[in-house]
Amino acid sequence: MEATVATENQTMIAQMVRDFGAQHIKPGMMRWDETQEFPRQVFRQLGELGLMGVLVPPQYGGSGFGYQEYVTAIAELSKIDGSIGLSMAAHNSLCTGHILQHASEAQKQQYLPRLASGEWLGAWGLTEPNTGSDAGNMRTTAVLDASGEFYVLNGAKNFITHGKSGDVAVIIARTGEVGDSHGMTAFIIEHLQRLHKAIAH
């Protein structure tokens, strides 16, 4: 088995994350845990370091790195605080990643710069109360309204990653028949915090 050698970028990112963690994460992480506070400012600062858009190309405001650098950033963050490492990974992979891989060019230009900068935190909604994360049996539907311009989403999601703290979400809903693996569509939902406040109980 060959030993892996860190690239120059990986070494740079690892040291950058360690320095950042010592200054901005370690001093507050016990308090955040005890008070159940989500340290939103940390993710804005991670955005300034280029870590909220690790895989996003520079033309959309990202760092344009590959998966080796991405995994290095997640691993080093998680050594300091596992929850922050997980949140950074979820933001990059679930919300931002889906927009990067599957959105239209106009959507990429609209959303990726704000996600990559850390101005916005990305959320992800797949899991449902009755079907869990079994996407094939998902019950949330999306149907075009009478105008044919807008979709109306109807259903319930739970365990939404960053559902309480996110700004924009990718939500998966059914546009085809139950069991049809091609009958699902990803929707970008803005103003998530405002929506959360409106439906909170």
Mean pLDDT of the chain: 92
**Domains in the chain: ranges and CATH:** 8-120 (1.10.540.10), 123-199 (2.40.110.10)
- Residue 149 confidence (pLDDT) above 70: yes
- Rounded to whole angstroms, how far apart are CA atoms 102 and 186? 9
Q: Is there a contact between 167 and 121 (Cβ–Cβ < 8 Å)?
A: yes
pLDDT band at 113 (very low <50, low <70, confident <90, very high): very high
User: Average pLDDT for residues 80-94, to the nearest whole number?
Assistant: 97
Please indicate whether residue 181 or residue 5 has the higher confidence score (pLDDT): 181
Query: In sequence order, which residues have a C-beta less than 8 Å from that of residue 28 and are 6 or more positions away?
Result: 39
pLDDT over 70 percentage in the chain: 93
Rounded Cα distance between 154 and 6, Å, is 47
SS (HEC) of 30-94: HHHHHHCCCCHHHHHHHHHCCCCCCCCCHHHCCCCCCHHHHHHHHHHHHHHCHHHHHHHHHHHHH
Question: Residue 2's pLDDT is what?
Answer: 53
DSSP-derived letter for residue 25 is: I
Write the CA distances from 163 to 26, 71, 135, 171, 200, integer angstroms. 25, 24, 18, 11, 11
Tens digit of each residue's pLDDT (9 = 90 or more) over 22-66: 999 999 999 999 999 999 999 999 999 999 999 999 999 999 999
Q: According to the model, what pLDDT value does residue 58 have?
A: 98
Is-contact 184 175, C-beta < 8 A? yes
pLDDT higher than 90, residue 188: yes
Model confidence at 196, in pLDDT bands (50, 70, 90)?
Answer: low
